[in-house]
Amino acid sequence: MTLTAQVYILMLNCNLYKMHLNINKKKSLIVTICALSILSIIVVSIALEKHNTNKEKQRITAFEKEKAKKLESIVAENKKLSEDAAKKEQAEHQKVQNLIDSGSLTTAQVRNNCSRLKNREAIVILGGSCSYKIRAVGSAKMAVVFVSDKSGMDYGQDIAQYTAGQSSKESLVYINEFLKREAARRNNPTLNIEFNFFGPFQQVSDITGDNADLSNTQEIIDALQNTSLQNKVPEADYDMVHYVYLQKQKFRSFAMPSSHRAFTNAQFADTTGVFIHETLHLLGASDKYNNGDCQTRGQGNPFDPNGSEKDLLDIMCWAYGSMDHLNINIITGREIGWQN
């Protein structure tokens, strides 16, 4: 029953009571009693309504807390699944790199004209042979060879994205902007990569399965490099050759520094980060996740993990995500030839 109805009924009862007793002289007393009764009902009703409101608020608050707790649990579970998947990805990548470093995987050696290298600041000739290493200073030439599968799929849109100007963070050329930005933070001269793009060419030999078990990595090397050479890409004219495979879900990206070759699978939304990561291997950078301390040593300044660079993560530790949150830390900088 509403408050208005309660008041109305009480007033009616009071009037009937007056008529029945016919006590005119006690009218004032009756009015006072009725008024006090009405006031009491109002106060009790208000208190009851407030109590019910508070109870409802408590119920809603408890529900919201329970919902937030469940959501937090789901987020934590998803984060753990993502972290576990990333660790597995990184561990498999390291296994490939270990095989490359041990010499178990090889690629055809392409003879280079040593005379073209001697006056290049980025090139350090090793011994009297034509072997050399590249530092992240001066300039260097890179051939990017796009290779597709045999399906004849049109990858024009992907290639347009990957070959856009270096201001685009979706472009492979963005590596120059990234190196420039990171070198400036260290007050260091940097490397400018001169790009030439080739393809896309359809692969000339099959790649079976994927290399999660490391069983077909040599097959990948042969398929991509032979495709490039059969299409007469002048690899000997370049300091580095980077093969970009446009087909999805075929292999894990890797690099072969001794041969100045890198193999990037464009299966991720963050292909640019992976491309830069693998290119930095060719400049002497090592993976930072192989020792399991990504969250400390991999940060912007590994010697001051709580400093101003604590929200940055070294690209050799994590190649995915926004380029704004990836950097080249002090250790990686020294590996690629930066002095500061």
Q: Rounded to an integer, what distance in angstroms lies between the CA atom of residue 228 and that of residue 232?
A: 7
More confident residue, 143 or 210: 143
Going through the chain in order, the beta strands assigned E by DSSP cover 123-125, 132-134, 138-148, 191-202, 240-245, 254-256, 261-265, 313-314, 326-327
DSSP code at position 248: S
User: What are residue 145's DSSP bridge partners?
Assistant: 198, 243
Query: Is the omega angle on the peptide bond into residue 257 within 30 degrees of 0, that is, cis?
Result: no
Whether the model pTM is above 0.85 = no
Q: Give the per-residue pLDDT at 154.
A: 86
Q: Residue 118 corresponds to which tokens in the numbers above? A: 């001697």
| Cβ atoms of 326 and 340 closer than 8 Å | no
| Buried/exposed code over 136-148 (b: 16+ C-beta within 10 A; e: otherwise) | bbeebbbbbbbbb
| Cβ atoms of 207 and 251 closer than 8 Å | yes
Q: What is the DSSP string of 110-126?
A: PP--GGGTTT-TTEEE-
Considering the chain, what is the average pLDDT of its residues? 80
Fold exhibited by the domain 108-335? Collagenase (Catalytic Domain) (3.40.390)
Which of 52-56, 178-182, 220-224 has the highest average model confidence (pLDDT)?
178-182
What confidence tier does 132 reach under pLDDT thresholds 50, 70, 90? confident
> Angle at the Cα of 218 (from 217 to 221), degrees rounded to 5?
90
Closest CA to 235 of 100, 105, 106, 112: 112
| Cβ atoms of 249 and 267 closer than 8 Å | yes
Give the model confidence (pLDDT) of 75-91 as tens digits: 676 667 656 666 666 67
Residue extents of the structural domains in the chain: 1-104, 108-335
